Structure formats: structure tokens, C-alpha cells
Structure 1
Amino acid sequence: MAVVEYTEGEISTIQINRPEKHNALDRQTLLSLQEKISLADSNKACKAVVISGAGGKAFSAGADLNYLLSAESSTEAEEIFDLFYRVTNGIWSSEKLFVAAISGYCMGGGNELAMACDFRIASPDSVFSQPEVKFGIPPGGGATYRLEKIIGLQKAKDMILTARAVNADEALRIGLIDRISHDAISESKNFCKSVVQNAPGIFYAKRSINGGIKLDSSSERSNFVKALLSEEAKSKISGFVKPHDNK
């Protein structure tokens, strides 16, 4: 079964399909996401895309930690960062409307994937966090420069530096998500149908808005690569991975 399911249409859907791993993002999943985002972007009939995670327990728990541990050189660490950047930038720079339909865990790289979307609709049980500092690394999927644009500098620092979890109610209050729904996928599809009635104006408007926001990933990239290769980070990540792999 494909790690990312894609359904084409005026409202296309992309679903991360690794429920046994809480839809964690490894190299294969990121490559498949990049491919499906490109397919939707190039499809003239497609006006909007809903991204979700299979299983209902997680939109995505973030980067697969074994994937992070696989980096043994600066080149390999840079490749991990750059692949994730291509995925999120593919969403950000697309003229299509992207909506993240979130249920359960939306953490680390999963939260960063959702942040690249234009809107986020979440179930009441959703949980959001940027836990990377617990593993001795900074976020590497855009949180250090995109989260501030969404919720403000101090709230972004709070989430990133404390690594604390935010529930759906708080996420709505601070502007991290746009709506709460018991059926986030259906709500996201209906929302897309209402918004795309304003096509093609929305395509020009999205390009104008996102094109006017200057996002610089260079500092995040250099710090992520340096930290990921440190002995402290490898020890902390390994210490978390090994007990969980043995379950």
C-alpha cells in the first residue's frame, strides 16, 4: 500500500498512510508527498487540496527519528533538510488552495507540514507541538521562520523553546488553526468547495500574499545540520528510538 494516497479532482486529497508509525515522515514518505503535491499543482482541474493523515490518531507525529539518525555527514543532513523544504515550499508556492485536515497528533515536522498549508481545520482531540529541542535539535521544517508569521514571535518562541503541547482549543485561540470540527476531513472539503467558488481570483491572491512574505530558511538549515550531527543529539534521539522500537 502506498505511503501517501492521492485522489485527483477539483478538490484533490493527499493522505499520509503510515498509521502504524503515527504517519511519521521518512524519506520515502517525503518523496511521495513531493510527487503528489506536484501532481496536484500541475493539474488544471484541481483547485484545492486537502491533506490528512490515515488512522485518525495522528495527522503526523513528525519526522521519522530513524530517518534523522541515518544522517552521518553534513551532506546527508542537508539532504534531509532540503527534501523537507521542497515539500513545504511546494505547498507554499502552489497557486492551489491547501487545507490541512488534522486529527490527533500534529507534532514537529507534521505541524510544519500543516503550517505550510493555507488553512488548518482540526478535530477536538488534536495536539500540536514542536518537540525538537528535547532531542537536541531545532525544528527543521520551517517552524523557526513560519510559525512566527502565524501566531506571533512570543507565542512561537513559547512553543519551540519549551516544546510544550498545545490542545485544539488553545491552538484555535492563538491562531495556529482556523476551525475545530469533529469531522475535520469533511469540514475541510466543504470549506474548500466554498472558497474555490472565488477561483481564479484566489490563485492570484494566494500568490500575492505568499509572495510578499519573506521567508529565509538559511539560518534554520545551518543550525539544523550542525545540531543533527552532534553527539548530544544522536544520543538523545537514539535514547528515545530504541525503547520504542523494542515495543
Structure 2
Amino acid sequence: MIRVTDDGPVRVVTLDRPAARNALTPDGLDALERAVVDAPGTVVLVRGAGDAFCAGADLSVVAEVATDGDPQAFVERGQRVLTSIAEAEAAVVAGIDGAARGGGVELALACDLRVATPEATFAEPGVTFGLFGAWGGTHRLPETVGMADAMDISLTGRAVDAAEAHRMGLVSRVVGDPRTVADELAAADPSALRLLKERLRDDASVADQEAAEAAAFEALMAEHADELSGYRKG
């Protein structure tokens, strides 16, 4: 279900259930978490096999949970995995080519960058069959696109194409191949990339964020002191 390829500083994690539009099962969620969190390089690219990015939670599993399982535990498992991806040390790029639906949108929202191909589409269709995305989507979506667009796509369940997703800030770029963006990130200094992600993700108070920002900058200065000395005036 989860295929991993390490290529220098970039780990490519492929959701590999094309017949199921790469829908996620509980075991698939756990494998996805390990693949991202344990990445040896500085960048992870998450993408889907076939003509979809990710259809979200496997509906056969959802049906089983609804009748015989523990819905709260199911939701908390997904929330834990996506939070782990958001907090991973590597910079995580969602390369969306084809459909992202429900939990697939939530997976993309947990990544640091969302890059779409022109064929990408996005929808939160849960409301049309009596559910909604509960893997962190109700807070990540409005944080990312603003309340008006979040309400629009969540309450209607409608699909938006790559151009509209870019307009609302759901994706940062529309490109032919998302791997090119992963390679851009991989060309950056590893320590700076890691610390910058950590700072941008910080949701502490402004004072605490600025103190941590200063400490991180000081650490980078110390690490690159020899290189920086070349810029000193004689």
C-alpha cells in the first residue's frame, strides 16, 4: 500500500492502491506515518499511484467502524498520524495529481507544501453522505484557505480544480511535476530547512516564538561561522 523510494535527500512516499484510488486503511495510515517520520533525508514527497492522489479513508473500513468499531478511536488514529506528518523533521511536500477527496485533502493539509498538477481536483464530500473530514481538517482547512472558502467547499461538498485551489491558497503552485519542487527544497541547507520549518510551524506566543527564532538563528550562525567569515570586510 505504501511504497518508499529514497533518492538522495528526497524520500518519495507513494500511496499505492490505485484500484481503490489510494484510499487509506488503518494499517496504511500507520505505514504512511513511519515512512514520513523515519525519512533519512531532508525532504519527503507524498504522491499517489494511478489517477488519484488519495480518496481519503477507505469507505469499507468506515462502514465497519460505524457498525462494529470505535469511531472515536478511528478518528484519533487519523489525527495522530497527520499531526505526526505535520511535525516531522523533514519538509513534506504533497504532490497532488488527480483527485484528493476527504481524508486525502486532510493529508495534503498536514504537509508543509501542497503542489498540484493541472489535473488535480479537491473536495470534502463527506457532508453529502452524512459525515465530514475529522482528521484535523476542520481546523487546518480554515487556517489554510480562510473561513469563507473553507465554509464553501466543506458545506457544499463541491470539487474545485487546481486553478481554483491555487486561487484560494489550498495549493502553493500548479506545476507539471511536483518532484521538481521537492528537488528545490532538497537543494537548501539541511539545518536551515529543518529549523525554518520548526519556526514556521510554531504556534506558541509571539514572545516565545521570537525567542526560539533568535536561538535557532544563533545556532545556524555558529554552524556556518567559517563560511560567513568570508563575507567580513578586511
Residue 74 of structure 1 deviates from its aligned partner by 9.3
Aligned to 2:70, what secondary structure does the other structure show?
helix
Residue 75 of structure 1 deviates from its aligned partner by 6.5
- TM-score, structure 2 normalization: 0.82
Question: Measured at CA, do residues 157 and 54 of structure 1 come closer, stay the same or move farther in structure 2, by a change above 3 Å?
Answer: same
- Residue number in structure 1 paired with 2:199: 208
d(CA) in 1 for partners of 2:61 and 2:186? 36
- Residue number in structure 2 paired with 1:129: 123
Question: Measured at CA, do residues 155 and 183 of structure 1 come closer, stay the same or move farther in structure 2, by a change above 3 Å?
Answer: same
Amino acid of the residue matched to residue 170 of structure 2?
Answer: L
The answer to whether the aligner puts 1:31 opposite 2:30 as a matched pair is yes
d(CA) in 1 for partners of 2:46 and 2:11? 9
1:6 alignment partner, one of 4, 7, 20: 4
Residue 95 of structure 1 deviates from its aligned partner by 2.3
Residue 109 of structure 1 deviates from its aligned partner by 0.3
Amino acid of the residue matched to residue 18 of structure 1?
Answer: R
Q: Are the counterparts in 1 of residues 16 and 49 from structure 2 also a CA contact under 8 Å?
A: yes
Of structures 1 and 2, the one scoring higher in RCO (CA 8 A, sep 6+) is: 1
d(CA) in 1 for partners of 2:173 and 2:200? 21
Question: Measured at CA, do residues 138 and 13 of structure 1 come closer, stay the same or move farther in structure 2, by a change above 3 Å?
Answer: same
- Unpaired stretches in structure 2, ≥5 consecutive residues: 206-234
Deviations, residues 49-73 of structure 1 (Å, cap 9, x unaligned)? 0000011x10001111111111147
The number of aligned residues is: 204
d(CA) in 2 for partners of 1:13 and 1:135? 33
Q: Are the counterparts in 1 of residues 21 and 52 from structure 2 also a CA contact under 8 Å?
A: yes
Aligned to 1:160, what secondary structure does the other structure show?
helix
Amino acid of the residue matched to residue 129 of structure 1?
Answer: A
Q: Are the counterparts in 2 of residues 103 and 125 from structure 1 also a CA contact under 8 Å?
A: yes
1:77 alignment partner, one of 71, 75, 81: 71
CA RMSD of aligned residues (A): 1.8
